[in-house]
Structure 1
Amino acid sequence: MRSLRRHRVVVPVLLCVLAVLGARPMTADEEPADPAGGPETQTHGGGVATGLSAEVVRLYEEAAVATQQYEAGRAEADEQRAKARRAEELLDTQRRHIAALHEDLGRIARAQYRTSGGLPVAAQMMLADSPDGLMRGHHAFAQADLAVNNAISKNRRAEARLAADEAKAAAEWQVLEKRNTELAALKADIEEKLESAREELQGQADAAVAAGACRGAVRLDQPQTAFTSAWVAPVETYELSASYGSGGARWAHRHTGQDFAVPIGTPVRAVGAGRVVRVSCGGPFGIEIVLRHAGGYYTQYAHLASVAVDQGEQVVPGQWIGQSGTTGNSTGPHLHFETRVTPESGSAVDPVSWLAARGVSL
C-alpha cells in the first residue's frame, strides 16, 4: 500500500512539471519546432542549414553568374559584328583603289591613242622622236596595265575571302544569338525564382519581428574568400543611399549610419574580425546584429531578413553573418550599417570615414 501511495503522489507532480515546461516562454535564441516540417532546416552551433535562406543565396549567386555569361555573350556578338564591318570597310578601300587604277589606265590608253596608239609598233618606232621616248611610253602603259591586273586579282581574292569571312561570321553570330537568347531565358527564370524566394524570406522575417521572437541562426555555406586586408565592405555589390548625418522624416534627429541599397537576401559580411554581442529583432532596426571589434569599436547591421550567427560567436573578416532585408523602420530593401563606440544606439561615428581609415573605400 505504501508503494501505491507513492505513485499517486508522483504522477500529479510529473503532470505539473510538464505543464510548467509547456507554458515556459521561449527566449530570443530559441525557435518553436515546425510540426509541418517546413522548408527551413535550422541548426545551431556551426551546423549548415539548407533551406530558404540558403536557396536565396544560391539563386543570388546563380543570377550573378548568368548575368556575367549573358553580358560576355553580348560582347562577343558585338565583336563579331565589328569584325565584319571592318572587313567590309577594308574591301571598300580596295575597290576605290582599283577604280582609281582603272581611271589611270584609261587616261594612258587615251593618250597613246591620240598620239600613236592606232599605228603598228614598227610605224610608231619610225615616227617616234626617239626610241627612248617610245620605250618609255610602252613601259609606262605596260606597268599601268600590270598594276591594274594585279589589283583586280587582289580584289577578287579579297572579295572571295570577305564572302567566306562574312558567311563564317554570320554563322557564328547566329550561334551566339541563339546562345544569348537561351542565356537570357535562363537569367530571367533564375531572377523570377530569386524574387519569389526573396519575398518568402522577407515574409518570414516580418512574421518574426511582429512576434518579437527572433529565429535562430540559419547557417550559410561560406564563400571561398582570400581577403588580404583585415577590413572589408559590409556587402560586395551595392549602391550607397542615405548617408551618415543626413536628414529625413524617418529619423528623430539625423541618420546614424550608412545605407547600402541592395536586394533582399543579399549576403551581409562582417567588416572585420570580432564577436557577436547582439542578435535581436523588433523595434526601428528590425532584425539586427552588433559586433564588437578590437579597439572597443562596434558595428551594427540592421533591417536584415535573416541572421547566420548567434550571440557570442567569433567572426572573421568577410564572413557572411546574415542577409539583407527591409524589416523594422525601412522604406525598402537595404542594409543599414553603423559604427559605434558602444554597443548601444546613440554612440555612432561616421562609418564611411571609419572604414576609410582602415583601408576600405566605399
Structure 2
Amino acid sequence: MRDVPQAYDFDRTTEAVRARIADMRSSRRPRWLVPALLCALAVLAARPTETPGRSPARGGADPGVSAEVARLYEDAAATTRQYEQGRRQVQAHRARAQRLDAHLDRERRQLAALHEDLGRIARAQYRSGGDVPLTARMLLADNPEELLRRQHAVSKADLAVNNAISRSRRAQAKLAADEGKAAAEWKALERRNAELAALKRDIERKLEEARRRLQAEADSSAASGTCRGAVRLHQRDVSRKRGWVAPVKTYQLSARFGSGGARWANRHTGQDFAVPIGTPVRSVGGGRVVKVSCGGAFGIQIVIAHPGGYYTQYAHLASVAVDQGARVAPGQWIGQSGTTGNSTGPHLHFEVRVTPELGSGVDPVPWLAARGVHL
C-alpha cells in the first residue's frame, strides 16, 4: 500500500511553542523573540493540512500510459460506432438498389409484353392486307363501314401501345438514373467504411502497444509491492444517483465462484471477467475505498466498502484511479484491468465479501442480480 502523508498535528505544535515561550521567559531570553515565535505559530496555523488517504494537491501518479490507454479505448469505441453506422447505411442503400432492380425488371417484362402485342397487331395488319392503301381496301370491301371500325380500333391500339412504350422508356431511363445514383452512393459509403476500418486498425495497433507498456509498469509495481499512486482518468457522465452496474462494460465470463483449479489453494473466491489489459474497471456501486495495495497473489487490487455491510474487491489490475479513503460513485472508473499477481492472462477478478478480508466471499453473480445487474 502506498505510504500516506500524516496530517499536521496543530495542537501538539501549539503546546510545544507555548512551552518554549514559558522556558524563554524563565530564562530571561530577549523580549523580541516572543513576538517572532508567535508570528511563526500563526504561519503554521495557516498552513493547509493533508488528509490521510488522499493525494496531495499536486500528487497522484503521472497519467502517462494509463491515460493514453483510456483515451485510445474511447477513440476505438467512437470509431467502431462510426464504422457500424456506415455499414448500416451501406446495407440500407444496397436494399434500395435491389428494390430498384426488381422494379426495373418488372418494367422490362411489361415492355417486352407490349412489344409482343405490337408484333401481333403488325402481323394481323399484314394478313388483312395492311400493305394495301386504306382507300383501295374500302373500295374492294363488301362492308366499308365495318372496315373503318376495325381500322379505327387498330389505330387506337397502336396509339395505346406507343404511349405505353414511351412511358416504359421514360420509367426505364429514370430507374437507370436512380440505380446509378444509388450505386455511386454505395461506392462512396464503401470508401468511407474502408477509411474508418483503417483508422480502427491503427488505433487498435497503438492500443496494443500502450497495453504492453501499461502492463510492464504494473508488473514493476507489483514486484516491488509499491503502488505508483492513483492515475486520474477523465470520465464523463458519472452520477452518484446511478444504480448498481457491472464492473466492466464489455466482457466474457470465465472462472466462476466456487470453481476448482490448480491455481487456487481451495476454491475460486470470485467471478472472473475476461477483458483486455487497460479496460476501464468501474465500482459496481457507491462506497468508500478501504484498501489499495500491490503485490501478492492478487497483484494490484482495490477493496470498496458499500452500504449494507458488503465489500467488493477488484484484483489483478494494471493501474488504480482512486486513493484509499476516497468516496466513489456507482459506475466510476477506479482502475484498469491487467494481469498482475497470480494471473495466467488479462482479466478482472471480482469478489463480493461480508468483510474486507479474503475468506468471506459470496457468489457475485446472484448478488449483482439481486441489485438489477444480470451478467
Q: How does 1:188-199 map to 2 (within 5 A)?
A: 188-199=201-212
In structure 2, the partner of 1:35 is none
- Output the amino acid matched with 1:96: R
Indicate the SS of the match to 2:340: coil
Counting only pairs closer than 5 Å after superposition, residues 34-113 of structure 1 correspond to structure 2 as 44=55, 49-113=62-126
Quickly say closer, same or farther: Cα 1:63–1:75, change in 2 above 3 A.
same
What amino acid is aligned across from residue 279 of structure 1 in structure 2? V
Matched AA of 1:267 = P
CA contact (8 A) 1:304 1:335 kept: yes
Flag the 1:115–1:263 CA change in 2: closer, same or farther, 3 A: same
| CA 1:343–1:143: 2 relative to 1, 3 Å | farther
Are residues 134 and 29 of structure 1, via their aligned partners in 2, closer, same or farther at CA, if it must alter by over 3 Å?
farther
Out of 29, 32, 37, which is 2:3 matched to? 29
- How do 1:330-345 residues align onto structure 2 when only pairs under 5 Å count? 330-345=343-358
**For 1:120-153, what per-residue CA distance to the aligned partner results, in whole angstroms no more than 9, with x for missing partners?**
556469545984x963x44653454334323322
Distance 2:207 2:161 in 1: 65
The answer to whether structure 1 residue 353 and structure 2 residue 371 are counterparts is no
Is the deviation greater in 280-289 or in 78-87?
A: 78-87
Q: Greater shift after overlay, 190-199 or 48-57?
A: 48-57
Separation in 2, partners of 1:226, 1:273: 10
TM-score normalised over the length of structure 2 = 0.77
Q: Is the 8 A contact 1:98 1:148 kept in 2?
A: no
- Mapped partners of 1:228, 1:153: distance in 2: 68
**Structure 2, unaligned stretches of length 5 or more?**
6-53
Q: CA deviation at 1:184?
A: 2.1
Q: Which moved more, 1:150-159 or 1:185-194?
A: 150-159
Q: Could you tell me how far 1:168 is from its partner in structure 2?
A: 2.8
Rg comparison, structure with higher value:
2
Alignment partner of 2:273 out of 260, 266, 271: 260
Q: TM-score normalized by structure 1?
A: 0.80
Secondary structure of 2:83's aligned partner: helix
Aligned equivalents of 1:144 and 1:236: distance in 2? Answer: 70
* Secondary structure of the structure 2 residue equivalent to 1:318: coil
Q: State the secondary structure of the residue aligned to 1:299.
A: strand
Encode CA deviations 1:89-148: one digit per residue, 9 max, x unaligned: 2111100111112212323443454456555556469545984x963x446534543343
Residue type of the alignment partner of 1:216: G
Query: Which stretch of the first structure deviates more once superposed, 331-340 or 176-185?
Result: 176-185
Q: Is 1:248 matched up with 2:222?
A: no
User: What is aligned with 1:23?
Assistant: none
Cα pair 1:263 1:333 within 8 Å, conserved:
yes
Cα 1:330–1:128 change in 2 (3 A) is farther
Q: 1:156 aligns with which of 153, 156, 169?
A: 169
Q: List, as ranges, runs of 4+ consecutive aligned residues in structure 1 with deviation greater than 6 Å.
A: none
Preserved CA contact (<8 Å) 1:241 1:258 = yes
Q: Residue 311 of structure 1 aligns with which residue?
A: 324
Helix, strand or coil at the partner of 1:259 = strand
Cα deviation, 1:202-224, whole Å, max 9, x if unaligned, reads 00111111111122111111222
Flag structure 1 segments of 5+ consecutive residues without an equivalent: 1-26, 32-42
Aligned residues: 323
CA 1:165–1:80 in structure 2 vs 1: closer, same or farther (change >3 Å)? same
Q: 1:142 to 1:220 in 2, by over 3 A?
A: same
Greater mean alpha carbon deviation, residues 112-121 or residues 85-94? 112-121
Supply the distance in 2 between the matched residues of 1:46 and 1:142 (Cα, whole angstroms). 97
